[in-house]
Amino acid sequence: MPRSLFENIYYTFRFSYFDVPYEDVKAEVVAFLTEKIGKFKEGKGKAFSYFSIVAKNYLIIQNNSNYAKLKRRSDLTAVDKNRNIQGEMALTDHQESLRDFTDQWCIWYDENLNKVFSNRRDIIVADTILELFRMRNNIENFNKKALYILIRERTGLKTQNITKVINVMKRDYTKMFATYRKSGFVIP
């Protein structure tokens, strides 16, 4: 069975701030459209399209109005039911922990760069990558391709050489982060 004009619009745009049952909203929109039926002029477009726009605009206005009323009379927890405060706090803690770890990891890698890599070319790549980590707050585009291009430009080396070093550093990063989460220190 095909959906009605109202159902198409209601479910497509997901109007969620109505505090009355679905059937009441539907009856209200049908009544509004009935009031507006005289404004439709034949030959100026299709009726379905015209009434779809009228119904959508009416629902948008009502939805926004209901949302504004809800904000005025409710505390923030009622307005933002979907928000997970504990999850947000955990994410913030994780991001802080990750920042601290990355800073410590960069210091450790600086001190042990010649122990991890013996090839001069690999040391140059690793040092360039460490520099990117140190200036990570100033980098706007964390696009992998853009970062590879930047490393290639700074080192003059091919992608294969860069990837080899990145894989070693990535392995160390992952292993050391697991240790950091347990102890709070970067220990290889």
Q: Is the pLDDT of residue 139 over 80?
A: no
Task: List C-alpha distances in Å: 64 to 71, 154, 171.
Answer: 11, 52, 50
Please classify residue 38 by burial: count the beta carbons closer than 10 Å to its beta carbon, then call 0-12 exposed, 13-18 middle and 19+ buried.
exposed
Q: What percent of the chain has pLDDT over 70?
A: 87
What do you get for the CA distance between the two ends of the chain, in Å?
64
Q: Is the pLDDT of residue 122 over 90?
A: yes
Place of tokens 């990117």: 132
Could you write out the DSSP letters of every residue in 25-57?
Answer: HHHHHHHHHHHHGGG--TTSS-HHHHHHHHHHH
Which stretches of the chain are DSSP H helices? Answer: 5-13, 22-36, 47-73, 76-79, 85-116, 120-134, 144-155, 159-183
Task: List C-alpha distances in Å: 182 to 37, 101, 176, 179, 185.
Answer: 69, 12, 10, 5, 8
Place of tokens 């959906």: 3
Query: 83-86: long-range contacts (C-beta < 8 A, 24 or more apart)?
Result: none
User: Model confidence at 137, in pLDDT bands (50, 70, 90)?
Assistant: confident
**Mean of pLDDT values over 145-153:** 87
Q: Is the pLDDT of residue 61 over 80?
A: yes
Q: What pLDDT score does 1 carry?
A: 31
Helix (H, G, I), strand (E, B) or coil at 112: helix
Place of tokens 């504004």: 68
Running DSSP on this structure, what letter comes out for residue 173? H
pTM confidence score: 0.53
User: Model confidence at 127, in pLDDT bands (50, 70, 90)?
Assistant: very high
38-60 per-position pLDDT tens digit: 776 776 667 667 778 888 888 88
**Mean of pLDDT values over 163-172:** 93
Running DSSP on this structure, what letter comes out for residue 140? S
Comparing CA positions, the residue from 38, 157, 181, 172 lying closest to residue 115 is 172
Q: What pLDDT score does 2 carry?
A: 41
Q: What percent of the chain has pLDDT over 90?
A: 21
**Mean of pLDDT values over 109-123:** 92
- The one-letter code for the residue type at 24 is D
